[in-house]
Structure 1
Amino acid sequence: MEDENNLAVLICGAGAAGLTLAIDLARRGVPFRLIEKMDSPFPGSRGKGMQPRTQEVFEDLGIIDRVVAAGGTYPRMREYQSDGTHTEKDIAERDDPTPAEPYHIALMIPQFLTEELMRERLAELGHRVEFGYELVGFEQDEQSVTSRLIGPAGEEFVQSRYLIGADGGRSFVRGALGVNFPGKTLGVRAMVADAALTGLDREVWHQFNNGNMERMLSICPLAGTDLFQIQAVIPLEGEVDLSDEGIMGMIRERCARHDVKVQSVTWASAYSMNARLADRYRIGRVLLVGDAAHIHPPTGGQGLNTSVQDAYNLGWKLAAVLGGAPDHLLDSYESERRPVAEAMLGLAAGLLDAAKRGEMRRGRELRQLDIGYTESPLTLNRPGRWGPLLAGDRAPDAPLRGAAGSFRRLFDLFTGSHWTLVGFEAERNITSGRKGLHIHRVGPGCELQDMAGHFRNAYGLTPGEWVLVRPDGYVAAMVTPDETSILQMFFSEVGLTDADGLRH
């Protein structure tokens, strides 16, 4: 546990967003505490879809291979008709990976397994979740936030430079800040449960009464487990029986399959679908991430993914400001991430409407690979520049070969907590060494070779140009050797210091 007198960040909530932020801060050496009011980890499968962009984030955080090994791909969906026949289809487009996009399809892994792997990674970095600690109040001034916690040993006061509310859709932090959470209830109430059952094979996702929202029933084998996830629309009012017997009765009534038997229910929940977005993501030294800032209907599998990427966006900015960068760098968190959440809410709500008609189809827009920040203040786009890539876009991958003969990926250069500056057929470096900046050159006579032209094609650079990539894998700038003065000013804004520790 960190010394609370030297605490930089207190993270309230140890779901996927809080864990992502904690891992990112841990690898940067930022002192923090991660608290969770529940006494034990979340036990359910609720967020089971992991989109390609989140897979890229998890590669950088060092857990992607573990996640893939623990989960699996989505099965085909089998839709049962009222006459006893059925049809099968892919639930989403299945494209092959490309050099620029190595992760191309959504993975399925239940949320409890994802968070378990994240806690393991956090432990490797020397930290842990503090379960059973509830935030019950806080006050802030210009220098710090003082938080009041109730934990196993009673009441304690914790002072930190920043407080992060990652405490879910019913966020205490958001409520205490007085931040509005406008949106709408979508007129659909549903249940979700993880259950051991017999009578259905695990090769497909079983869908009954598609297009009939009052009787819809979905039973999906949960990759990485022996369980099935059961989902069903339920009446808007009244109690719903989520016991083994109650769920068994619902299955028999809706699909007339007496061979399906529920053996046990390990977790179940009933909820009303909402689409809501916080008016603000930051007030002073307190910031909101994940479901505390936005809640989505489950259609499209965007909630957990958007939450992870919130935290990934915020982590490097917090570390930079704590290291001496201007505080207004943190304002870019809201300006970049809030529009993304707004777009994802619209997408998920549209998919829900399509599901009501039995017409839901998941396309490329769900993969989150096209999300970018081209309007962000943290972009340097030269007027008139055109090409396949602009500052603010996601930085593509590309295969390279090292001068010593080893195969490298561009993502290998990005992995870690640093910024990356890559010159294409550049004769010399355009800046001196800076703490937190890795510099590479690609081309004839350079350390790396663009063997098949994938780097050139993906980035659209001309010989001598440079691309600056942020720690979260987005392009910050594409510059010529004549634009180094602009780059130096930008470095100061984002906290990149000269090797001697000075800012210029």
Structure 2
Amino acid sequence: MTSHSKIDVLICGAGAAGLTLAIELARRGIAFRLVEKMDSPFHGSRGKGIQPRTLEVFEDLGIVDRIIAAGGLYPAVREYRSDGSHTESEVVERAEPTPAEPYALPQMLPQYLTEAILRDRLCELGHAPEFGCELIDFSQGEAGVVARLRRHGNDEVVQARYLVGADGGRSSVRKTLGVDFPGKTLGVRAIVADVVLDGLSRDAWHRFNDGSMERQLAVCPLAGTALFQIQAPIPLEGEVDLSAAGLTAMLHDRSGRGDLLVKSVSWASAYQMNARLADRYRVQQVFLVGDAAHIHPPTGGQGLNTSIQDAYNLGWKLAAVLNGAEDALLDTYEQERRPVAAEVLGLSTQLLAAAKQGDMRRGRNVRQLDLGYADSVLALERPERLHGPYAGDRAPDAPMRGASGRPVRLFDLLKGTHWTLFGYEADRACVAARAGLRIHTVGEGAELVDEGGHFRAGYAVSAGEWVLVRPDGYIAAIVGTEQLGALEVFFQYAECGMPGA
């Protein structure tokens, strides 16, 4: 039996990227469906690091406190020597929050818990993934995408304006499009397993035989759970025993300790490490996000975060175009996100090379706070700035005081689906109110007082300058009052981005 339906967006894949995109569309009143061929949610730890920039995204989505409460910080690394002694070091370079960067350190949270929180948020917005629903095939035409779904043996034909492939590294959407996925297999095969384990404390990330790719072993307590994650390289060929008995044997062999016991296995996988980047992120009305567009080695905790931020970038743009903005806006998704993925792939590969030598240290370069879109057509400066932040950069936070005397965070003003315009010591009457745009003035006698100078320091602004921030928290433009007319194109996107516009 075949039924038919029409929607705006069909999302294939209900992992972190698909869920984030669904939340973004739900917030904007877009008609969509989120389908997942698996019968139930993924239940492994895989991507367990949540970087500071992603925490900022989660603040906007309304779930950052849930994420932090559910997880925890990375523990110190305890490296064991052959004589039984050990050393301890921090895997994450310590940093303190600043007014501009409220989240200084990555959080650890197993992927299945992150996705559960995203599903709860989506449910609050009135939507849910459709598990056990597989995309069988699709075609494109003038009206958009015609897709065939199969659920419980029944086929359904869905007509959508857009299709988004968030269906992982083996993406059927990417393969159907014929998009090449060049890159390389990195010559490393490894296992990852979530287990109940006796014999090791939960106060450290235990590592044995660092520097030996044949015998390395890492056992990390998974924050927010009673589980440990085992990671270990394995031979490129041959079967590997991922049962409790098999993993216990591996622990005994590589640690030299007979007191370690794997009591049960919650999830386990053996995989080849790859670095690959899709040639294209868009083919007509179909887009690729997350692992469907790029796959990374796990070093540095970049893959999950990059995937979430893909969806965060694409969501507001899809909504704006569906509400009347020019289709060319959607081309900026690939223009902005593909170079980021290329940079992150390079970083992950470099960190893998260091990890082979036992160097697990992680610094600012993994936190994704410095990634931006300086070369985007959506980045405007008039006149051109001599020092940052620049158009295309991440918008810094800043604590201020409202005219009523209450403390106000800039991130609280950005939260939501709107664009935001800040005028520093500027005349509010210079800009007319319009749908989808929030306008705030900063300065003595204005609605916001820059009491500690954090806004001026964070944005390096002078009197009479205006800063326009996109819905995804990046600076679209910095202009003087006399150049305000140049913002008109962005204001049109703001109006089109309004829910129900």
Q: Is TM more than 0.5 here?
A: yes
Distance (whole Å) between structure 2 residues aligned to residue 353 and residue 498 of structure 1: 43
Structure 2 residue 434 is the aligned partner of structure 1 residue 444? no
Whichever residue aligns with residue 179 of structure 1, its letter is: V
Match status 1:403 vs 2:400: no
1:153 is displaced (CA, Å) by 5.2
8 Å CA contact 1:324–1:495 kept in 2: the answer is: no
- AA at the equivalent of 2:54: T
Partner of 2:495: 496
* TM-score, normalization by structure 2: 0.97
Residue 160 of structure 1 is matched in structure 2 by 160
Q: Aligned partners of 1:249 and 1:221: how far apart in 2?
A: 19
The 3 A distance-change label for structure 1 pair 375 and 304 is same
User: How do 1:273-312 and structure 2 match up within 5 A?
Assistant: 273-312=273-312
CA shift, 1:388, in A, is 2.5
Local SS of the residue matching 1:496: helix
Q: Any idea what the Cα deviations from partners look like across 1:202-237, whole Å, max 9, x if unmatched?
A: 000000000101101000000000000000001100
Identity percentage over the alignment? 65
Letter in 1 for 2:122: L
Given that 1:419 and 1:438 are in contact with CA atoms closer than 8 Å, whether structure 2 keeps it comes out as yes
Q: How far is 1:498 from its partner?
A: 12
Residue matched to 2:31? 31
Which runs of structure 2 are paired with 1:438-477 in the superposition (5 Å)? 438-477=438-477
Amino acid at match of 1:370: D
CA distance in 1 between partners of 2:22 and 2:490 (Å):
27
Is the Cα contact below 8 Å between 2:275 and 2:295 reproduced in 1? yes
Q: Is the 8 A contact 1:434 1:497 kept in 2?
A: no
Whole-Å separation in 2 of the counterparts to 1:28 and 1:383: 33
Aligned to 2:13: 13
Aligned to 1:87: 87
CA distance in structure 1 between the aligned counterparts of 2:4 and 2:397, rounded to whole angstroms: 40
**1: distance between equivalents of 2:77 and 2:358?**
13
CA deviations on 1:267-307 (whole Å, 9 max, x unpaired) are 00000000000000000000000000000000000000000
The match for 1:102 is 102
CA distance in 2, matches of 1:122, 1:497: 23
- Contact in 2 for aligned 1:4/1:160 (Cα 8 Å): no
The question of whether the paired residues in 1 share the 8 Å contact of 2:211 and 2:358 is answered with: yes
Q: What is the identity, as a one-letter code, of the residue corresponding to 2:105?
A: I
Tell me which residue corresponds to 1:332: 332
The CA deviation at 1:450 is 0.6
Q: Distance in 2 between matches of 1:81 and 1:224?
A: 29
Give, in whole Å, the separation in 2 of the partners of 1:190 and 1:401. 51
RMSD: 1.5
Instruction: Give the CA deviation at 1:106.
Output: 0.5
Q: Give the 5 Å matches for 1:135-214.
A: 135-152=135-152, 154-214=154-214
Structure 2 counterpart of 1:121, which letter? R
Rounded Cα–Cα distance in structure 2 between residues aligned with 1:433 and 1:317: 22
What amino acid is aligned across from residue 302 of structure 2 in structure 1? Q
- Counterpart of 2:381 in 1: which secondary structure? coil
Q: Is the 8 A contact 1:7 1:31 kept in 2?
A: yes
Secondary structure class of the residue paired with 1:393? coil
In structure 2, the residue matched to 1:125 is 125
Q: 1:357 to 1:497 in 2, by over 3 A?
A: closer
Distance in 1 between residues matched to 2:414 and 2:311, nearest whole Å = 18
1:183 and 1:274 in contact (8 A); partners too: yes
Matches within 5 A, 1:252-291: 252-291=252-291
Tell me the CA shift for residue 497 of structure 1: 5.8
Q: Distance in 2 between matches of 1:385 and 1:192?
A: 47
Report the AA paired with residue 59 of structure 1.
E
Task: Return the alpha-carbon distance in structure 2 between the equivalents of residues 35 and 276 of structure 1.
Answer: 25
Q: For the residues of structure 2 that align with 1:181 and 1:251, how far apart are their CA atoms?
A: 36
Report if aligned partners of 2:4, 2:156 keep a CA contact under 8 Å in 1: no
Amino acid at match of 1:15: G
Give the superposition deviation at 1:5: 4.0
What is the CA–CA distance in structure 2 between the aligned matches of 1:323 and 1:64, rounded to whole Å?
29
User: 3-state DSSP class of the match of 2:380?
Assistant: coil
Listed as ranges, the matches of 1:333-372 within 5 Å are 333-372=333-372
Cα pair 2:467 2:479 within 8 Å, conserved:
yes
In 2: Cα distance, 1:430 partner to 1:477 partner: 16
Q: Name the SS of the counterpart of 1:420 in structure 2.
A: strand
Aligned residue type for 2:15 = G
Runs of 4 or more off by more than 3 Å in structure 1?
A: 3-6
Instruction: Quote the offset at 1:387 in angstroms.
Output: 2.4
| Equivalent residue letter for 1:40 | S
Q: CA–CA distance in 1 between the matches of 2:497 and 2:264?
A: 60
Counterparts of 1:238-249 in structure 2 under 5 Å? 238-249=238-249
**Could you tell me how far apart the structure 2 residues matched to 1:371 and 1:112 are?**
26
Where structure 2 has 5 or more consecutive residues not aligned to the other structure, the ranges are none
Paired with 1:491 and 1:141, the residues of 2 have a C-alpha distance of: 31
Query: Does the residue aligned with 2:476 lie in a helix, a strand or coil?
Result: strand
